[in-house]
Amino acid sequence: MTVAKVLLATLMLGVPAPLAQATLAPSTTEENGTMQQHPYIGMWVTGDGHVRQELLPNGRYDEARGTRQSAYQGRYEVTGNMIYYWDDTGFEADGEFVNENELHHGGMIFFRER
CATH number of the CATH domain containing 105:
2.40.128.290
> Is residue 22 located within the same domain as residue 51?
no
Could you report the per-residue pLDDT of 3-55, keeping only the tens digit for each?
A: 333 333 333 444 343 433 333 334 344 444 334 567 899 999 999 999 999 99
- Residue 32 included in any domain: no
pLDDT at 2 (0 to 100) = 36
> Is residue 12 located within the same domain as residue 55?
no
Determine the Cα–Cα distance for residues 82 and 101; give it in Å rounded to an integer: 14
Mention every residue, 6+ apart, whose C-beta is less than 8 A from residue 5: 24
- 33 in helix, strand or coil? coil
Mention every residue, 6+ apart, whose C-beta is less than 8 A from residue 12: none
Tally of domains in the chain: 2
Q: What is the domain range of residue 3? A: 1-27
CA 19 to chain centre: 16
> Is residue 54 located within the same domain as residue 101?
yes
Determine the Cα–Cα distance for residues 45 and 25; give it in Å rounded to an integer: 27
Q: What is the pTM of this model?
A: 0.69
